[in-house]
Amino acid sequence: MADNQAGLYLIAYDIADPKRLSRVHRALKREGLPVQYSVFTVVIKRKALLRLMGVLEELILPAKDDIRCYRLPENTEIKTLGRQLFPTDVFLFSGGINRLFG
């Protein structure tokens, strides 16, 4: 992916301490959309993603916490089961392509 092209990422975390958990959640909420407890989607350019991951790295204790970032493919098909956080018409935009969650 080119540095100037935004990509769609899924970021999930498991943080042991409530204070660190709150800080990580706030940092991700500034950049992305929470889709589940401790799971965010982020549409972001590569340089900004690297900065975000650096910020998150400063907020955690690597021996106790875990943060994972997955780049989602352009044509991601999403299936959901059970109670959803968002109405069925919520869209994400990435690279000029909208993606429906639901």
Which domains occur in the chain, in start order? 6-74 (3.30.70.240)
Average pLDDT, the chain: 84
Cβ partners under 8 Å of residue 10, min gap 6: 39, 40, 41, 69, 70, 72
Question: For 7-27, how does the pLDDT look when each residue is reduced to its tens digit (9 = 90+)?
Answer: 999 999 999 999 999 999 999
Separation of alpha carbons 46 and 29, rounded Å: 18
Runs of H (alpha helix) within the chain: 18-31, 46-59
Question: For 57-67, how does the pLDDT look when each residue is reduced to its tens digit (9 = 90+)?
Answer: 999 999 999 99
What's the whole-model pTM score?
0.78
